[in-house]
Amino acid sequence: MSSDVAPQVRPAIRNIPAYVPGRPPAPRPGVTTYKLSSNENPNQPLPGVLEAAVEAAGRMNRYPDMGCTALYEALSARFGVPTTHLAAGTGSVAVLYHLLQAFCEAGDEVVYAWRSFEAYPIAVAVPGAVSVQVPLTSDARHDLDAMAAAVTDRTKVVIVCSPNNPTGPSVRRAELESFLDRVPPHVLVVLDEAYREFVRDEDPFDGVEIYRSRSNVVAMRTFAKAYGLAGFRVGYAIAPERVAAAVRACALPFGVSSVAQAAAVASLEREAELLERVDGIVAERTRVVGALRGQGWDVPDAQGNFVWLPLGDRATAFAAAAEEAGTMVRPFAGDGVRVSIGEPAGNDVLLEVAARFTT
């Protein structure tokens, strides 16, 4: 059959870059391997969470609650927001996909920092929108002045990733408020707070608090990182009612599984214990950052559960050396390497590789 009469994929889809996940280590005889490439929580499920998931799995012959009733009620109680201001999806990245589909048409612009989350260019391209990537500052932070200047009459959405994945720094409250004052009220500002529980910055912002006072702000969060539910895929947005309703309208029916909903509710019930585990990861992050800087590495401020090594053209070589030692990291060719904070033993292997790489 002639290709000119075959079904044609939209140009925007043909040109979408492939999402590259963090690779798991290959089993190797006599070598203990560690996966530090996907920003996962290294801890086992909290007591009670696994039991809730298993109990929900016993009803796998039934469809999940499409309205996420129990989850929305739990989030509503936790944050003091109406359930109509909530929209869940299969991870916060799915929530972003739905939001962009709801608010962007072909040719509309979406402004975000770069380098930032690798899924942003993909999510923007799906509805045919245009990415406006604003370079980070020399210390790997958002350049909010340049981002505000990049907003035009074609801009529909601005994304602020804080802490920024993969580089680490978080946006501070005062600078964010100043930035929001410069964004037109008809432009949606999505605050991607996937790693907010790990932030220990001197002036952190709370996206939910900011959403309460600004009609164009969306707080986007996930259970994948601090809560340790990466394998169940559940994230959510807290947004003005009209925005949340539009996101839900674009969502895949029955997308968030019964198991994911049950595990998320159980995790919220055990948040105090969860945050103690987060403190442990933050302490390990402090140790790793201190050791790397002691070796002479220029490590940006790390506010997530990962660190960034700005290796430039040496990124892939470093990743290969780490893999040879049994530790998988996430390279971004020509730019740098992101390393998740994992088990202390795995972090120690990473530090050994880093020490050899500087000599």
Summarize pLDDT for 225-251 with one digit per residue, the tens: 999 999 999 999 999 999 999 999 999
Q: What is the pLDDT of residue 252?
A: 92
Q: What is the pLDDT of residue 11?
A: 84
**pTM to 2 decimal places:** 0.95
193 within 8 A of 225, measured Cβ to Cβ: no
Q: What is the mean pLDDT of residues 280-300?
A: 97
Is 4 a residue whose pLDDT tops 60?
yes
Pick the range with the lowest mean pLDDT from 8-22, 34-48, 175-189, 342-356.
8-22
Question: Tens of pLDDT along 163-195?
Answer: 999 999 999 999 999 999 999 999 999 999 999
Is 31 a residue whose pLDDT tops 60?
yes
DSSP 80: T
Provide the token pair at 217: 């702000």
Amino acid identity for residue 92 in this structure: S
Is 2 a residue whose pLDDT tops 60?
no
Q: What is the pLDDT of residue 208?
A: 98
Cis amide leading into 248 (omega within 30): no
Angle at 205 between CA 225 and CA 40, to 5 degrees: 10
Is 89 a residue whose pLDDT tops 80?
yes
Residue 38, phi then psi, degrees to nearest 5: -130, 10
Residue 174, phi then psi, degrees to nearest 5: -60, -45
359 pLDDT tier (thresholds 50, 70, 90):
low
Is 127 a residue whose pLDDT tops 90?
yes
Cis amide leading into 163 (omega within 30): yes
Q: What is the pLDDT of residue 188?
A: 98
